Amino acid sequence: MDEPDRWRNMASAPRDGSRILVTVRPTEQGPAEVDMAYWSRADQHGEEGWRSSDSQPGRVVEYADPELKCWMPLP
């Protein structure tokens, strides 16, 4: 990948299950932050979508597309 240290539009984020850094938009629940996430296909724990990489079965942190602003490959 060219320019690995630059933030990119979420539309270009890999949806192959690889872990990436994402920026999470600020909400009423908290300020903007950076998290490590991956694209997950639908399974018994939910529908396909972005999940926090530290999610565990039964305690899944999912992000809706509008919650994520941009992404970057892991350093």
- Establish if 65 belongs to a structural domain: yes
Please tell me the predicted confidence (pLDDT) of residue 2.
58
- Establish if 27 belongs to a structural domain: yes
Domain span holding position 26: 8-73
- Establish if 1 belongs to a structural domain: no
Domain count along the chain: 1
Comparing CA positions, the residue from 75, 72, 74 lying closest to residue 9 is 72
For 19-42, what is the HEC assignment?
CEEEEECCECCECCEEEEEEEECC
- Establish if 19 belongs to a structural domain: yes
Please tell me the predicted confidence (pLDDT) of residue 38.
95
pLDDT tens track for 7-63: 999 999 999 999 999 999 998 878 999 999 999 988 776 689 999 988 777 787 889
- Establish if 3 belongs to a structural domain: no
In our burial notation (b when 16+ CB lie closer than 10 A, e otherwise), range 24-46 reads: beeeeeeeeeebebbbbeeeeee
